[in-house]
Amino acid sequence: MKRFLLMLLLLASPVWAVEPREMLDDPVLESRARDISAGLRCLVCRNENIDDSHADLAHDLRVLVRERLVAGDTNTEVVDYIVERYGEYVLLQPNRDGANLILWYAGPAMALFGLILAIGFIRQQARKRASGEGRPDALSDEERARLQQIMGD
Amino acid sequence: MIVELGHFTLILAFAVAIFQMVVPLVGASRGWPEWMAAAVPAASAQFLLTAVSFAALTFAFVTSDFSVALVTANSHTLKPLLYKISGVWGNHEGSLLLWVLILTLFGAMAAWFGGNLPPRLKARVLGVQSAIGVAFFGFILFTSNPFLRLENPPMNGGDLNPLLQDPGLAFHPPFLYLGYVGLSMTFSFAVAALLEGRVDAAWARWVRPWTLAAWLFLTIGIALGSWWAYYELGWGGFWFWDPVENASFMPWLISAALLHSAIVVEKREALKSWTILLAILAFGFSLIGTFIVRSGVITSVHAFANDPERGVFILFILAFFMGGAFLLYALRAGAMQAKGVFSLVSRESALVVNNLLLAVSAFVVFIGTLWPLLAEIFFDRTLSVGAPFFNAAFFPFVLVLAVALPIGAVMPWKRAGVGRALRVVAPALVPAGAAVLLCYAVFTGHSAIGPLFIGLAVWLVISAGLDLLSRTGRGALGARLARLGRLPRADWGKAVAHTGLGLTIFGIAALTTFASEDIRVARIGESFELGPYTLTLTNVQDVQGPNYASRMGTVEVARDGAAVSTLHPERRFYPVARMPTTEAGIDSGLTRDIYVVLGDPQQGGFALRSYIKPWANWIWGGAIIMALGGLLSLSDRRYRVAAGARKQATRTDGVPAE
């Protein structure tokens, strides 16, 4: 937490997140700008999008996004334009390509694998009951031996 | 002098920890009762010595002893007393001392209240716990000594980071550490069980309270941190999927899975080896969290380990304990024979699904947190993984969990029917469906995800009540309601915790779906509309605080001409640390917060950001209710009066009669 805070503080210059003078008059364009901003990382911050960031660079990026929108770019074009200039690092949501597929599909794959494993395990131990082995009321060898010992006394 | 005493007792505690690591474990494997019994006084001594050491450091902070390097770096004479004290753990070295203090406290508690544990198990638990202690005492003494003196003490200190000077954050780390370190206790029990080669209901009954305690402290710690971020960072976000937050969230998820699977071990003596694995993993994630926070590896990918020595030390601790535990697990887990068997549709299976979902979602958070590092090392790609990824990858599992939870919760053990379980909670489907439709209809144009989660929240909360009611048997409703009070506290704990989860999901869904904002330059005296409210900036003045200067605005909030409240958003400047902070003006309410942030003067007015944050407090309220549910469960009769039951259990374990 501390390092995160420190980082925030170092960047807490007088400029702060989305400023009135940056905003576009057209509410539709402005809301599109917000949607785009939420997916763009402030490059000098810790995992913050440019909307939430206080940094000067985030301010520049917010202005840039709006300039492109006013120029008539689609959302994808704006993002591509910024990725071209600043690299993949600027995307908070990594592309689903190449090695990133591991990132995206590791969770679902593990869920599926786990589910198959779990069903297999539950079936197997349930079958054991059917065959009488390991019944909840069955005695272990140890217990059977002890029972015999007690009964023998 | 007192500072040196603190340093000295810390070294003594280290020595005692080494003793407690070796002697009881040797005693347990050889069957020497005296050697095993040595663990108890050693655990007490370790705790007392560490407590003295911690008190010494606190003393140095309270008296502003600037000959101590740590005090100079993190304190100031003008700072309020509360923050002088919280400054003790507001830094790496001091927080590590707090960590070992809690570690030894848990060890001592296991020694004091573990009178009914079989002596061998107890010796092993305390020995393993002390081994963790040895690692961390070594870490603090060799790499992060908090008691270092300065040759030329300055007149005053560098002040604590102003963002940390806040009641919410003052208590955030202690709770979080109680959680992290509480998981060391379950780890010790797991390793001890592997050494013993047996896990039974008695073991689970011993482990579950520690897991519950660790989980509920983690819940409170995370909620405090999130609440603090909401009101302090100035834009009303409550969760950022920051690596440091994820570091606390992963152990929370795993411990939530663990406390559910421990129920199965306790009640049905099944899922034993899985539970052991979770107990090991939970502490593993705690250690990974420590590594993430303290090594700086993930913080900034480009400055790889800006604290290499510490990072390597923690990695070594992590590798040793996880490697050792997994090795032991591989050798011994096969011996854990399940007794209870269950069919594919049963409470046990439902809890397996719960475990699967929680473990997978923890894994998603884990891989997302580490991915920037892995991608850079192995694929030479510099990329970021932020909130949009986590939201997309994490919430589907929450969705499935929320759908399945109420059905699984009402299933009976061993063998159940989906239809029968559904009949119990079916009445909750109606209000849940109505909530979805209503939210979707009223807020057309939004995505359907928000209303869907709100419906799920309603589903969770109402079914928790129905679940509780279904435990009261048959008969007239009045008689059943009267019987509610006599249900075991564990049942209440379950219902309350599940309700809390529902409320938190509701808060998150409502806040993210329905928030509205207004960003403008406001002149003094100017009014503007925000939703149903009228906000007026009436005044901006400079105010002097104890150790900061503040520009404080006054914003009157009215609704239909009637005053609602007066807010004082601030911009503070801490001259010693030379840092500005934002203090939002918040009118908290049950159904909405009005949240106002003051900015800089511009164009003859001040930048002003105002938000309506609907149902925001339910996020943390829900978390506190979850923790309360944990507390109720923890106070269940069977943990308080289980002494007799345990004795019986140990006797069947084949322990020689006294």
- Taking only the tens place, the pLDDT of each residue in A19-61 is 777 888 888 888 888 889 888 988 877 777 888 777 788 888 9
* B472 within a domain of the structure (yes/no): no
pLDDT band at A146 (very low <50, low <70, confident <90, very high): confident
CB pairs under 8 A between A and B: 175
Nearest CA in chain A to B396: A108
Phi, psi (degrees; rounded to nearest 5) at B546: -60, -45
**What b/e sequence results for A30-63 when a residue is b if at least 16 CB atoms lie within 10 Å of its CB, and e otherwise?**
bebbbebbbbbbbbebbbbbbbbbbbebbbebbe
> How close B386 gets to chain A, by Cα (Å)?
4
Chain B partners within 8 Å of A102 (Cβ): 367
- Which residues on neighbouring strands pair with residue B606, listed in sequence order? B522, B601
Contact B337 A140 (CB under 8 A): yes
Residue B238's identity, in one-letter code, is F
CB-count burial class (<10 Å; 0-12, 13-18, 19+) for B478: exposed
* B39 within a domain of the structure (yes/no): yes
For B177-271, strand residue ranges (E) read none
- Taking only the tens place, the pLDDT of each residue in A65-114 is 999 998 888 999 999 999 999 888 889 889 888 889 999 999 999 999 99
* B204 within a domain of the structure (yes/no): no
State residue A141's pLDDT score: 74
State residue A12's pLDDT score: 42
- The token duo for B205 is 């009954």
Q: Which of B360, B579, B596 to mutate to probe the A interface, most A CBs <10 Å?
A: B360
- Interface residue A5 vs chain B (CB under 8 A): yes
Q: Which of B310, B336, B383, B389 to mutate to probe the A interface, most A CBs <10 Å?
A: B383
CA contacts within 13 A on the Cβ side of B602:
14
Contacts 24+ apart (CB under 8 A), B58-67: B58/B85, B58/B88, B59/B2, B59/B3, B59/B6, B60/B2, B60/B3, B60/B6, B61/B85, B61/B87, B61/B88, B64/B156, B64/B157, B65/B3, B66/B150, B66/B153, B66/B154, B66/B155, B66/B156, B66/B157, B67/B3, B67/B149, B67/B150, B67/B153
Q: Which CATH architecture has domain A2-90?
A: Orthogonal Bundle (1.10)
Higher-confidence position of A8 and B195: B195
Contact A3 B363 (CB under 8 A): no
* Residue whose structure tokens are 């106002």: B596
State residue A3's pLDDT score: 47
Contact A92 B364 (CB under 8 A): no
Cα(B284)–Cα(B82) distance, integer angstroms? 33
Nearest CA in chain A to B292: A1
> What's the structural domain count of chain B?
2
Residue B302's identity, in one-letter code, is H
Q: How far is CA B411 from the centre of its chain?
A: 29
Nearest CA in chain A to B226: A1
Report pTM: 0.90
Q: What is the mean pLDDT of each run of 10 residues along chain B (658 residues)?
A: 93 96 92 90 95 96 91 86 89 90 94 87 94 94 90 81 80 90 94 89 89 95 91 81 88 95 89 92 91 67 54 89 93 79 88 95 94 88 89 93 92 85 88 89 76 93 91 82 86 94 94 87 91 92 89 93 92 83 90 91 86 93 96 83 44 41
State residue A132's pLDDT score: 55
**Domain span at B115:** 1-165
Domain end, chosen from B617, B633, B652, is at B617
Higher-confidence position of A10 and B233: B233
Residue B465 near residue B431 (C-beta atoms within 8 A): no
Contacts 24+ apart (CB under 8 A), B548-554: B548/B162, B548/B572, B548/B573, B548/B574, B548/B575, B548/B581, B549/B573, B549/B575, B550/B583, B551/B598, B552/B598, B553/B585, B553/B596, B553/B598, B553/B606, B553/B608
* B118 within a domain of the structure (yes/no): yes
* B161 within a domain of the structure (yes/no): yes
> How close B582 gets to chain A, by Cα (Å)?
10
Nearest CA in chain B to A132: B341
* B547 within a domain of the structure (yes/no): yes
State residue B497's pLDDT score: 96
State residue B300's pLDDT score: 43
- SS3 category, B390: helix
Task: Check if the interface score ipTM surpasses 0.85.
Answer: no
State residue A44's pLDDT score: 77
Of B268, B274, B267, B179, nearest to B630 (Cα)? B179
Strands B549-559 and B533-544: antiparallel
State residue A117's pLDDT score: 93
State residue A14's pLDDT score: 39
Contact B519 A21 (CB under 8 A): no
Chain B partners within 8 Å of A4 (Cβ): 242, 244, 299
- Interface residue A107 vs chain B (CB under 8 A): yes
Ranges of each domain in chain A: 2-90, 100-152
Chain A partners within 8 Å of B158 (Cβ): none
CATH number for position B77: 1.20.120
